[in-house]
Amino acid sequence: MSDQLIHRYTRRQAIKDSVLIPVDDLAREAGFKWPVAVTDHLFHSYIVPALALVPEGQSVQGRLWDALMCLRYAIRSSKDDTCLRFSVLFQMSPGAAPVPVELVSVAGPDDDGSPCLTLMLPEDD
């Protein structure tokens, strides 16, 4: 059996295909020095609030900010910063209490070998 690479799916291609959504601007504002992307599954399931939550002050920016701040805390509290599991509270319906949602952050090389972070749900791994 050959060890030849048959296909390579790059981070750049995943972003172009909208499988990964770059959140670099807000991540930089939150203090991250590396590029950060979230999976489309996480983004559309939890970061984008239900329309009924918008009048309650829920927004993409706010929910993403919360996830990034929880990630920063997890990084500072961990000895292994390559793959972290942590929880973020998300309000899912009007008037309901926020629920904890487990997220995973993976640090790895970008297409050019430079460091980057990917934020996802555990089943996205």
In the chain, where the domains are located: 11-124
Q: Which of 62, 79, 73 is nearest to 103 (CA)?
A: 73
In this predicted model, what pLDDT tens digit does every residue of 3-45 receive, in sequence order?
775 667 899 999 999 999 999 999 999 999 999 999 999 999 9
Q: What is the dihedral of CA 20, 88, 65, 38, to 10 degrees?
A: 0
CA-closest candidate to residue 70, choices 88, 92, 84: 88
Cα(88)–Cα(24) distance, integer angstroms: 19
Backbone angles phi, psi at 106, to 5 degrees: -120, 125
- Residue 90, beta-bridge partner list: 99
Q: What is the pLDDT of residue 6?
A: 67
Percentage of the chain beyond pLDDT 70 is 95
Q: Taking the CB of residue 62, how many other CB atoms lie within 10 A of it? A: 12
Distance between CA atoms of 89 and 98, rounded to whole angstroms? 5
